[in-house]
Amino acid sequence: MEKLTRLDRRKFLSGNVHQEQVLRLPWVISASDFEMQCTKCQACVAACETEIIMLDEQGYPKVEFSKGECTFCQKCIQSCPEPLFSIPKKPISPDRLHHYPPPWLIELNISEQCLAKNNIYCQSCRDECEVNAIKFAYVFSGKVNPIPRPAIYLTDCNQCGACISSCPQDAISIDFLS
């Protein structure tokens, strides 16, 4: 009988109860199932066409949008020998992906570090967003601001992360939803 390692119990006993949330692979069933069933084979790391899948401190794969964007090629899912995903292992065409749940339970936010929010012209995030989820508009507060401000339209966002790696100020962050 194979012994399963309970990472939550190990972290508790070692005093490491605060766990930073990590962005796992797209369409993972749950973070706890992922950590219990992932064999750390690194097949997903090798399969990733944009090389955004890295290993965390424990050797589990995680997505790093600071390295690039997810193209939703699904190669990580197809290469994984474990049943960890909420979508089928067979390739799904990009125009059909909207029939499935979102790839992650996250929300993207633009902080006050944003150059445009500090009256410096920049629209690099918008230029990288293929689905046009980031829009810029002039803000009126008594006077017209000469630099348009960004807003992420979350209903249009496909969570690819292209905006994160393109931001020169690291002003775009991920908020995990529960």
* Domains (range + CATH), the chain: 1-101 (3.30.70.20), 105-178 (3.30.70.20)
Which residue type, as a one-letter code, is found at position 129?
A: C
94 vs 47, residue with greater confidence: 47
Per-residue pLDDT tens over the stretch 58-71: 999 999 999 999 99
Extract the runs of DSSP E, i.e. beta strands, from the chain.
Answer: 53-55, 61-63, 106-110, 134-137, 149-152, 172-176
Residues 81-96: what's their mean pLDDT? 91
Q: Report DSSP letters for 57-92, one per residue.
A: TTS-EEE-GGG-------HHHHH--S--BSS-SS--
- Is residue 4 classed as helix, strand or coil in its secondary structure? coil
> What is the pLDDT at residue 45?
98
- The secondary structure of residue 165, as a DSSP letter, is H
Instruction: State residue 51's pLDDT score.
Output: 98
Mean model confidence pLDDT for the chain = 89
* Position 2 confidence tier, pLDDT thresholds 50, 70, 90: very low
